[in-house]
Structure 1
Amino acid sequence: MSDENLTQQTEAQTQVQSSPLRCVIGAMISGALGYGLYSLMIATATSFATKPIHSDNVIVLKLSSAVRTLVVGVMALGTAVFAIVAIGLLALGVQLLVQQMTKQKS
Protein backbone atom coordinates (compact mmCIF):
# COMPACT_ATOMS: atom_id res chain seq x y z
CA MET A 1 0.00 0.00 0.00
CA SER A 2 2.65 2.51 0.93
CA ASP A 3 4.62 1.74 -2.24
CA GLU A 4 1.68 2.82 -4.39
CA ASN A 5 1.30 6.07 -2.46
CA LEU A 6 5.02 6.78 -2.73
CA THR A 7 4.99 6.15 -6.48
CA GLN A 8 1.99 8.44 -6.97
CA GLN A 9 3.62 11.22 -4.96
CA THR A 10 6.89 11.08 -6.90
CA GLU A 11 5.04 11.12 -10.22
CA ALA A 12 2.94 14.10 -9.12
CA GLN A 13 6.00 16.19 -8.26
CA THR A 14 7.32 18.34 -11.07
CA GLN A 15 10.86 19.58 -11.31
CA VAL A 16 11.06 23.33 -10.72
CA GLN A 17 13.18 25.18 -13.27
CA SER A 18 15.84 27.45 -11.88
CA SER A 19 15.79 31.09 -12.87
CA PRO A 20 18.20 33.96 -12.31
CA LEU A 21 15.78 35.53 -9.83
CA ARG A 22 15.55 32.36 -7.73
CA CYS A 23 19.35 32.07 -7.76
CA VAL A 24 19.81 35.67 -6.61
CA ILE A 25 17.22 35.27 -3.84
CA GLY A 26 18.91 32.06 -2.68
CA ALA A 27 22.30 33.77 -2.77
CA MET A 28 20.98 36.64 -0.69
CA ILE A 29 19.55 34.25 1.91
CA SER A 30 22.76 32.23 2.02
CA GLY A 31 24.85 35.38 2.22
CA ALA A 32 22.74 36.68 5.10
CA LEU A 33 23.16 33.41 6.99
CA GLY A 34 26.89 33.47 6.29
CA TYR A 35 27.18 37.04 7.51
CA GLY A 36 25.24 36.17 10.63
CA LEU A 37 27.53 33.24 11.37
CA TYR A 38 30.55 35.42 10.69
CA SER A 39 29.33 38.04 13.16
CA LEU A 40 28.64 35.34 15.73
CA MET A 41 32.09 33.85 15.18
CA ILE A 42 33.81 37.21 15.67
CA ALA A 43 31.78 37.92 18.82
CA THR A 44 32.58 34.47 20.23
CA ALA A 45 36.28 34.72 19.43
CA THR A 46 36.42 38.18 21.01
CA SER A 47 34.62 36.90 24.09
CA PHE A 48 37.03 33.99 24.39
CA ALA A 49 40.01 36.31 23.98
CA THR A 50 38.86 38.74 26.67
CA LYS A 51 38.09 36.02 29.23
CA PRO A 52 41.22 34.02 29.99
CA ILE A 53 41.08 30.66 31.68
CA HIS A 54 41.87 30.79 35.40
CA SER A 55 43.36 27.44 36.30
CA ASP A 56 46.69 25.96 37.28
CA ASN A 57 45.82 22.52 35.95
CA VAL A 58 47.53 21.80 32.63
CA ILE A 59 44.83 19.38 31.48
CA VAL A 60 42.12 21.99 32.06
CA LEU A 61 44.09 24.57 30.09
CA LYS A 62 44.62 22.22 27.16
CA LEU A 63 41.02 20.99 27.09
CA SER A 64 39.53 24.46 27.31
CA SER A 65 41.87 25.69 24.58
CA ALA A 66 40.81 22.77 22.37
CA VAL A 67 37.11 23.40 22.99
CA ARG A 68 37.45 27.10 22.24
CA THR A 69 39.30 26.30 19.04
CA LEU A 70 36.65 23.78 17.99
CA VAL A 71 33.79 26.19 18.67
CA VAL A 72 35.35 28.98 16.62
CA GLY A 73 36.38 26.50 13.92
CA VAL A 74 32.87 25.12 13.51
CA MET A 75 31.52 28.64 13.17
CA ALA A 76 34.20 29.45 10.60
CA LEU A 77 33.31 26.30 8.67
CA GLY A 78 29.63 27.27 8.62
CA THR A 79 30.53 30.76 7.46
CA ALA A 80 32.66 29.37 4.64
CA VAL A 81 29.97 26.93 3.51
CA PHE A 82 27.30 29.61 3.31
CA ALA A 83 29.68 32.01 1.56
CA ILE A 84 30.62 29.40 -1.06
CA VAL A 85 26.96 28.56 -1.64
CA ALA A 86 26.14 32.25 -2.09
CA ILE A 87 28.96 32.69 -4.61
CA GLY A 88 27.90 29.54 -6.47
CA LEU A 89 24.29 30.65 -6.67
CA LEU A 90 25.31 34.07 -7.96
CA ALA A 91 27.48 32.43 -10.61
CA LEU A 92 24.60 30.14 -11.59
CA GLY A 93 22.28 33.13 -11.85
CA VAL A 94 24.74 34.93 -14.14
CA GLN A 95 25.13 31.79 -16.25
CA LEU A 96 21.35 31.39 -16.62
CA LEU A 97 20.99 35.07 -17.47
CA VAL A 98 23.65 34.82 -20.18
CA GLN A 99 21.99 31.69 -21.58
CA GLN A 100 18.63 33.45 -21.73
CA MET A 101 20.14 36.46 -23.50
CA THR A 102 21.92 34.32 -26.09
CA LYS A 103 18.70 32.41 -26.81
CA GLN A 104 16.85 35.67 -27.42
CA LYS A 105 19.52 36.97 -29.84
CA SER A 106 19.60 33.81 -31.93
Structure 2
Amino acid sequence: MSDPNLIEQSEKPKNTATPLRCLIGSIISAGLAIASYSLLNAIAISFATNPIHSQNQLTIRISSAVRTLVIGVFTLGTGVFAIVTLGLFALGVQLLLQQLRQKS
Protein backbone atom coordinates (compact mmCIF):
# COMPACT_ATOMS: atom_id res chain seq x y z
CA MET A 1 0.00 0.00 0.00
CA SER A 2 2.99 2.33 0.26
CA ASP A 3 3.79 2.09 -3.45
CA PRO A 4 4.51 5.64 -4.70
CA ASN A 5 3.13 4.85 -8.16
CA LEU A 6 -0.33 4.29 -6.74
CA ILE A 7 -0.29 7.59 -4.93
CA GLU A 8 0.88 9.49 -8.00
CA GLN A 9 -1.80 7.98 -10.21
CA SER A 10 -4.64 8.88 -7.86
CA GLU A 11 -3.49 12.52 -7.67
CA LYS A 12 -3.61 13.07 -11.44
CA PRO A 13 -6.55 15.24 -12.54
CA LYS A 14 -9.35 13.48 -14.35
CA ASN A 15 -10.40 14.46 -17.85
CA THR A 16 -13.37 16.76 -17.62
CA ALA A 17 -16.26 16.96 -20.02
CA THR A 18 -16.26 19.89 -22.40
CA PRO A 19 -18.93 20.94 -24.89
CA LEU A 20 -16.61 20.09 -27.78
CA ARG A 21 -15.96 16.57 -26.47
CA CYS A 22 -19.68 16.04 -25.95
CA LEU A 23 -20.44 17.23 -29.48
CA ILE A 24 -17.78 14.98 -31.02
CA GLY A 25 -19.01 12.01 -28.99
CA SER A 26 -22.57 12.76 -30.00
CA ILE A 27 -21.63 12.86 -33.68
CA ILE A 28 -19.76 9.55 -33.42
CA SER A 29 -22.64 7.93 -31.56
CA ALA A 30 -25.13 9.26 -34.12
CA GLY A 31 -23.05 7.74 -36.91
CA LEU A 32 -23.03 4.39 -35.16
CA ALA A 33 -26.79 4.62 -34.57
CA ILE A 34 -27.44 5.36 -38.24
CA ALA A 35 -25.14 2.52 -39.33
CA SER A 36 -26.81 0.13 -36.90
CA TYR A 37 -30.25 1.18 -38.11
CA SER A 38 -29.26 0.68 -41.74
CA LEU A 39 -27.93 -2.78 -40.96
CA LEU A 40 -31.07 -3.57 -38.96
CA ASN A 41 -33.23 -2.50 -41.89
CA ALA A 42 -31.24 -4.63 -44.36
CA ILE A 43 -31.43 -7.68 -42.09
CA ALA A 44 -35.17 -7.26 -41.55
CA ILE A 45 -35.79 -6.97 -45.29
CA SER A 46 -33.62 -10.02 -45.90
CA PHE A 47 -35.54 -12.05 -43.32
CA ALA A 48 -38.87 -10.89 -44.74
CA THR A 49 -38.00 -11.75 -48.33
CA ASN A 50 -36.47 -15.14 -47.49
CA PRO A 51 -39.04 -17.18 -45.59
CA ILE A 52 -38.18 -20.41 -43.82
CA HIS A 53 -38.65 -23.45 -46.08
CA SER A 54 -38.97 -26.53 -43.93
CA GLN A 55 -41.53 -29.13 -42.93
CA ASN A 56 -39.92 -29.73 -39.55
CA GLN A 57 -41.61 -27.73 -36.77
CA LEU A 58 -38.49 -27.74 -34.60
CA THR A 59 -36.45 -26.19 -37.41
CA ILE A 60 -39.08 -23.51 -37.96
CA ARG A 61 -39.22 -22.65 -34.26
CA ILE A 62 -35.43 -22.50 -33.83
CA SER A 63 -34.92 -20.38 -36.95
CA SER A 64 -37.74 -18.07 -35.88
CA ALA A 65 -36.13 -17.67 -32.46
CA VAL A 66 -32.73 -16.93 -34.01
CA ARG A 67 -34.25 -14.36 -36.36
CA THR A 68 -36.02 -12.70 -33.43
CA LEU A 69 -32.81 -12.59 -31.41
CA VAL A 70 -30.82 -11.08 -34.29
CA ILE A 71 -33.44 -8.39 -34.90
CA GLY A 72 -33.67 -7.72 -31.15
CA VAL A 73 -29.91 -7.32 -30.70
CA PHE A 74 -29.63 -4.83 -33.54
CA THR A 75 -32.71 -2.94 -32.32
CA LEU A 76 -31.22 -2.72 -28.84
CA GLY A 77 -27.91 -1.48 -30.24
CA THR A 78 -29.65 1.14 -32.35
CA GLY A 79 -31.68 2.33 -29.36
CA VAL A 80 -28.67 2.52 -27.07
CA PHE A 81 -26.64 4.54 -29.56
CA ALA A 82 -29.60 6.87 -30.19
CA ILE A 83 -30.08 7.49 -26.45
CA VAL A 84 -26.35 8.08 -25.98
CA THR A 85 -26.44 10.58 -28.85
CA LEU A 86 -29.27 12.53 -27.24
CA GLY A 87 -27.65 12.40 -23.81
CA LEU A 88 -24.26 13.61 -25.00
CA PHE A 89 -25.83 16.39 -27.03
CA ALA A 90 -27.90 17.52 -24.04
CA LEU A 91 -24.83 17.39 -21.78
CA GLY A 92 -22.90 19.50 -24.28
CA VAL A 93 -25.68 22.11 -24.34
CA GLN A 94 -25.83 22.11 -20.55
CA LEU A 95 -22.07 22.60 -20.23
CA LEU A 96 -22.12 25.35 -22.84
CA LEU A 97 -24.87 27.20 -20.96
CA GLN A 98 -22.96 26.84 -17.69
CA GLN A 99 -19.83 28.29 -19.27
CA LEU A 100 -21.80 31.22 -20.71
CA ARG A 101 -23.38 31.94 -17.31
CA GLN A 102 -20.02 31.91 -15.57
CA LYS A 103 -18.56 34.45 -18.01
CA SER A 104 -21.40 36.91 -17.50
TM-score when scaled to structure 2? 0.91
Equivalent pairs counted in the alignment come to 104
For structure 2, list consecutive stretches of 5 or more residues without a partner in the other structure: none
> Residue type matched to 1:80 in 2?
G
Output the CA distance in 2 between the equivalents of 1:14 and 1:65: 51
**RMSD, matched Cα:** 1.7
Q: Secondary structure at the match of 2:52?
A: coil
Identical amino acids, percent of aligned pairs: 51
1:6-33: CA deviation from partner (whole Å, max 9, x where unpaired): 6156236420111101000000001101
Offset, 1:4: 2.7
TM-score when scaled to structure 1? 0.90
Output the CA distance in 1 between the equivalents of 2:4 and 2:55: 64
The residue number in structure 2 matching 1:29 is 28
Output the CA distance in 2 between the equivalents of 1:12 and 1:36: 40
Map 1:40-79; keep pairs closer than 5 Å: 40-79=39-78
For structure 1, list consecutive stretches of 5 or more residues without a partner in the other structure: none
> Residue type matched to 1:99 in 2?
Q
> Residue type matched to 1:102 in 2?
R
